[in-house]
Structure 1
Amino acid sequence: MSRTRVWRAEILASPFATCRRWHHRAVGRLVGGRGRFTPATSDHTELLKRFLSAAQNGDVTELAELPAEDAIAYNDGGGKVRAALRPVTGRANVLAFVAGLMSRYPLEEARLVEANGEPAIWP
């Protein structure tokens, strides 16, 4: 077993065998075609425009219609700001999470940009 593999398991604070099992399961899911749905770039851009408009205008009704019932919100503070430690799941929880973020970080000057080849919102 290479030192690099052990080191990666140490980063996750999990035994090497557990990390190897997680990897095996992830590969199985990806190969099995159970990956995430990827919308067309135009649809993704339109959804982000609607979200940004509703958030900037405080239109809670419009905002509540955007996420699917099984929505999942992922976020990353980049090590500089606090972030949710786990993905936020479910429409109600995602909406509460977004509302909390909006109360702390207003989006008046936010704009659409491209990040990693995908549309994104930048403050």
Structure 2
Amino acid sequence: MKRFFFILLTLAIVGGASYLWVCNWTYSEGTRAGTLIKISNKGVVFKTYEGQLNLGGFRQNASDGVSGNIWEFSVWQNEVYEKLQNYEGKQVKLYYREKYKAMPWQGDTNYFIYQVEEVK
């Protein structure tokens, strides 16, 4: 019986570690440019940096009708968050990495900003 629980525990640990490892893979990389609408530090248990970028134009949804083309993102690094605070309301170019799945302590989205430039 002890052997069964040991094997079950080992499989659970290996499975959980593998899941976290795979979810942290970079799915895509790229840039997006637009007007930075907001950047905030939010969360109850896990405080994360979240932001919104207006890409311009409009998007048509079946349920909402026509809405603005807003892109939501998360930020890991405090330095990038502080830079973004200075660029609110301005045109920016954001460099991002998309992960397969974000864990609750990482952010609300799968898009993580690692560099920001102001567009002039």
Query: After TM superposition, is the score higher than 0.5?
Result: no
Higher share in helix: 1
Higher share in strand: 2
Band of TM-score, shorter chain:
under 0.3
Give the TM-score, by structure 2 length. Answer: 0.24
Higher relative contact order (CA 8 A, sep 6+): 2
